[in-house]
Amino acid sequence: MKKAVFLDRDGVINDGTRYYTYRVADFVLNPGVAEGLKLLQDAGYILVVVTNQSGVAKGEYTERDVATVHDFMRNELGKQGVIIQKVYHCPHHPDVMECDCRKPRPGMLERAIEELDIDRKHSFMIGDSKRDVEAALKAGVYPIKTSKNENIVPWCEKIANGTIFSL
Protein backbone atom coordinates (compact mmCIF):
# COMPACT_ATOMS: atom_id res chain seq x y z
CA MET A 1 0.00 0.00 0.00
CA LYS A 2 1.09 3.55 -0.75
CA LYS A 3 1.01 6.62 1.43
CA ALA A 4 -0.52 9.66 -0.22
CA VAL A 5 -1.18 13.33 0.16
CA PHE A 6 -4.53 14.44 -1.22
CA LEU A 7 -4.69 18.06 -2.30
CA ASP A 8 -7.54 20.40 -2.96
CA ARG A 9 -6.91 22.41 -6.12
CA ASP A 10 -8.34 25.94 -5.97
CA GLY A 11 -6.83 27.83 -3.04
CA VAL A 12 -4.17 25.18 -2.29
CA ILE A 13 -2.38 24.40 -5.55
CA ASN A 14 -3.48 27.47 -7.49
CA ASP A 15 -4.75 30.93 -6.70
CA GLY A 16 -8.29 30.43 -5.50
CA THR A 17 -9.48 34.03 -5.53
CA ARG A 18 -11.55 33.57 -8.71
CA TYR A 19 -15.00 32.05 -8.30
CA TYR A 20 -14.16 29.51 -11.01
CA THR A 21 -10.78 28.69 -12.54
CA TYR A 22 -11.44 26.90 -15.79
CA ARG A 23 -9.11 28.60 -18.26
CA VAL A 24 -5.36 28.06 -18.48
CA ALA A 25 -4.88 31.84 -18.66
CA ASP A 26 -6.39 32.14 -15.16
CA PHE A 27 -4.48 29.25 -13.59
CA VAL A 28 -1.63 30.52 -11.39
CA LEU A 29 0.34 28.19 -9.11
CA ASN A 30 0.54 29.38 -5.52
CA PRO A 31 3.98 30.25 -4.14
CA GLY A 32 5.87 27.24 -2.80
CA VAL A 33 3.51 24.63 -4.25
CA ALA A 34 6.06 22.88 -6.47
CA GLU A 35 8.71 22.99 -3.73
CA GLY A 36 6.33 21.58 -1.13
CA LEU A 37 4.99 18.85 -3.38
CA LYS A 38 8.53 17.84 -4.34
CA LEU A 39 9.35 17.43 -0.63
CA LEU A 40 6.36 15.13 -0.21
CA GLN A 41 7.17 13.16 -3.32
CA ASP A 42 10.80 12.73 -2.25
CA ALA A 43 9.55 11.47 1.14
CA GLY A 44 7.66 8.68 -0.65
CA TYR A 45 4.16 10.12 -0.88
CA ILE A 46 2.08 9.93 -4.03
CA LEU A 47 0.18 13.11 -4.85
CA VAL A 48 -3.53 13.06 -5.67
CA VAL A 49 -5.70 16.09 -6.45
CA VAL A 50 -9.38 16.02 -5.42
CA THR A 51 -11.40 19.03 -6.50
CA ASN A 52 -15.03 20.11 -6.65
CA GLN A 53 -15.81 21.61 -10.06
CA SER A 54 -19.50 22.47 -9.77
CA GLY A 55 -19.30 24.96 -12.63
CA VAL A 56 -19.68 21.97 -14.96
CA ALA A 57 -23.10 21.11 -13.52
CA LYS A 58 -24.10 24.77 -13.62
CA GLY A 59 -23.11 25.08 -17.28
CA GLU A 60 -20.40 27.67 -16.57
CA TYR A 61 -17.70 25.54 -18.21
CA THR A 62 -17.21 22.04 -19.64
CA GLU A 63 -15.51 18.79 -18.70
CA ARG A 64 -13.05 19.56 -21.49
CA ASP A 65 -12.20 22.90 -19.84
CA VAL A 66 -11.50 21.04 -16.58
CA ALA A 67 -9.30 18.48 -18.37
CA THR A 68 -7.36 21.24 -20.15
CA VAL A 69 -6.62 23.04 -16.88
CA HIS A 70 -5.60 19.77 -15.20
CA ASP A 71 -3.28 18.88 -18.07
CA PHE A 72 -1.71 22.32 -17.81
CA MET A 73 -1.34 22.00 -14.01
CA ARG A 74 0.31 18.59 -14.31
CA ASN A 75 2.65 19.81 -17.06
CA GLU A 76 3.68 22.93 -15.11
CA LEU A 77 4.37 20.90 -11.96
CA GLY A 78 6.07 18.22 -14.04
CA LYS A 79 8.57 20.80 -15.29
CA GLN A 80 9.65 21.10 -11.67
CA GLY A 81 9.87 17.35 -11.11
CA VAL A 82 6.48 16.95 -9.45
CA ILE A 83 4.25 14.08 -10.53
CA ILE A 84 0.54 14.26 -9.78
CA GLN A 85 -0.44 10.60 -9.71
CA LYS A 86 -4.07 11.29 -10.54
CA VAL A 87 -6.63 14.08 -10.54
CA TYR A 88 -10.21 13.42 -9.45
CA HIS A 89 -12.90 16.03 -9.88
CA CYS A 90 -16.55 16.22 -9.00
CA PRO A 91 -18.57 17.98 -11.73
CA HIS A 92 -21.79 17.93 -9.69
CA HIS A 93 -23.66 20.52 -7.65
CA PRO A 94 -26.48 19.72 -5.21
CA ASP A 95 -28.81 22.23 -6.91
CA VAL A 96 -28.49 20.16 -10.10
CA MET A 97 -27.66 16.62 -8.99
CA GLU A 98 -26.73 14.79 -5.78
CA CYS A 99 -23.63 12.59 -5.72
CA ASP A 100 -21.21 10.88 -3.37
CA CYS A 101 -18.11 12.59 -4.74
CA ARG A 102 -18.68 16.27 -3.93
CA LYS A 103 -16.69 17.21 -0.86
CA PRO A 104 -17.53 17.10 2.07
CA ARG A 105 -18.52 13.61 0.94
CA PRO A 106 -15.50 11.31 0.69
CA GLY A 107 -16.26 9.72 -2.70
CA MET A 108 -13.23 11.06 -4.59
CA LEU A 109 -10.86 10.08 -1.78
CA GLU A 110 -12.44 6.64 -1.41
CA ARG A 111 -12.16 6.04 -5.16
CA ALA A 112 -8.49 7.03 -5.14
CA ILE A 113 -7.78 4.86 -2.09
CA GLU A 114 -9.26 1.88 -3.89
CA GLU A 115 -7.82 2.51 -7.37
CA LEU A 116 -4.32 3.52 -6.26
CA ASP A 117 -3.95 1.12 -3.31
CA ILE A 118 -3.50 3.90 -0.76
CA ASP A 119 -2.97 3.32 2.95
CA ARG A 120 -5.43 5.78 4.44
CA LYS A 121 -3.87 5.54 7.92
CA HIS A 122 -0.59 6.96 6.59
CA SER A 123 -2.11 9.59 4.31
CA PHE A 124 -3.03 13.26 4.53
CA MET A 125 -5.38 15.79 2.94
CA ILE A 126 -4.34 19.42 2.50
CA GLY A 127 -7.31 21.69 1.90
CA ASP A 128 -8.45 25.23 2.54
CA SER A 129 -12.05 24.62 3.54
CA LYS A 130 -14.13 22.89 6.16
CA ARG A 131 -15.50 20.57 3.48
CA ASP A 132 -11.94 19.35 2.70
CA VAL A 133 -11.42 18.53 6.38
CA GLU A 134 -14.76 16.73 6.58
CA ALA A 135 -14.05 14.64 3.48
CA ALA A 136 -10.63 13.68 4.85
CA LEU A 137 -12.04 12.60 8.20
CA LYS A 138 -14.82 10.59 6.55
CA ALA A 139 -12.21 8.83 4.38
CA GLY A 140 -9.95 8.16 7.36
CA VAL A 141 -7.02 10.37 6.32
CA TYR A 142 -5.39 13.11 8.40
CA PRO A 143 -6.75 16.57 7.51
CA ILE A 144 -4.63 19.70 7.31
CA LYS A 145 -6.56 22.94 6.91
CA THR A 146 -4.70 25.85 5.39
CA SER A 147 -5.79 29.37 4.62
CA LYS A 148 -6.71 30.14 1.02
CA ASN A 149 -3.51 30.55 -1.06
CA GLU A 150 -1.27 29.85 1.94
CA ASN A 151 2.27 28.69 1.19
CA ILE A 152 2.08 24.95 1.95
CA VAL A 153 5.82 24.35 2.27
CA PRO A 154 5.79 24.36 6.12
CA TRP A 155 3.01 21.77 6.14
CA CYS A 156 4.79 19.66 3.54
CA GLU A 157 7.99 19.79 5.60
CA LYS A 158 6.11 18.57 8.68
CA ILE A 159 4.55 15.69 6.77
CA ALA A 160 7.82 14.77 5.04
CA ASN A 161 9.91 14.76 8.21
CA GLY A 162 7.27 12.97 10.29
CA THR A 163 6.38 15.78 12.70
CA ILE A 164 2.72 15.36 11.83
CA PHE A 165 1.52 11.86 12.44
CA SER A 166 -1.30 10.37 10.43
CA LEU A 167 -4.48 8.97 11.98
Q: What is the set of active-site residues?
A: 8, 10
Q: Where are the beta strands (DSSP E) in 2-104?
A: 4-7, 46-52, 84-90
Q: Are 87 and 49 in contact (CB under 8 A)?
A: yes
Distance CA 58, CA 49 (A): 22
User: Sign of torsion, CA 52 37 118 115?
Assistant: positive
